[in-house]
Amino acid sequence: MTGKTHIAIGTAAALYLLPAAGVRVEPLMLAGAVLGSLLPDIEHPKAMVNSKILPIKSKSMLVIMSAAAGILLILGGLADKSLLKQLIGVYILIAGQSSHRTFTHSLLGLSSIVYISYQLSVYRGFQGFAAGLAVGTALHILADSFTSGGVSLLYPLYNKRIGFPIAMKTGGLTERVIFIISLIVAVISIMSF
């Protein structure tokens, strides 16, 4: 699934679901949803986020950059006793070393993001951002389970990819229809406020 479709799905879901849970619609909530919608693909060198930050679009460069960033965050978190920095560092370190649709597309990866979101919410006061991040990540994983590649939902216990029997082709007609429907849901949700 393409990055723009992931963003549309995650943002629409956040706009539709989170206000019902008492989360105020604000720019930080939308930013969290967008980031969460893209975050599971951080392990792919040609993903939307990585295409903007990697000087060379290769898995080797991704491994080196994620290892450096992860280690720096872990060390920084240890130095100033920030569990949040350490958790983000560990996530980036593991994600960068992972194969496509394994750790970041698993229940373990999702649990990591949910716990980081909890830390952001409770200890930093970013409730809207944290809620958007968690919803965007969860919807990304769910959406990719409808592609022919599936996801390694039970990684590392079970590395076989799991998907729904009805699978869509990335960039195909079904994905374009889902993109348009997601945009409509997002616009209707915004107009209802």
3 state SS for the chain:
CCHHHHHHHHHHHHHHHCHHHCCCCCHHHHHHHHHHHHHHHHHCCCCHHHHHHCCCCCHHHHHHHHHHHHHHHHHHHHHCCCHHHHHHHHHHHHHHHCCCCCHHHCHHHHHHHHHHHHHHHHHHCCHHHHHHHHHHHHHHHHHHCCECCCECCCCCCCCCCECCCCCECCCCHHHHHHHHHHHHHHHHHHHCC
pLDDT score recorded for residue 158:
94
Contact 8, 186 (CB under 8 A): yes
Flag residues of the chain having pLDDT under 50: none
Name the residue ranges covered by the structural domains of the chain.
3-191
The encoded tokens of residue 25 equal: 């619609």
pLDDT score recorded for residue 53:
84
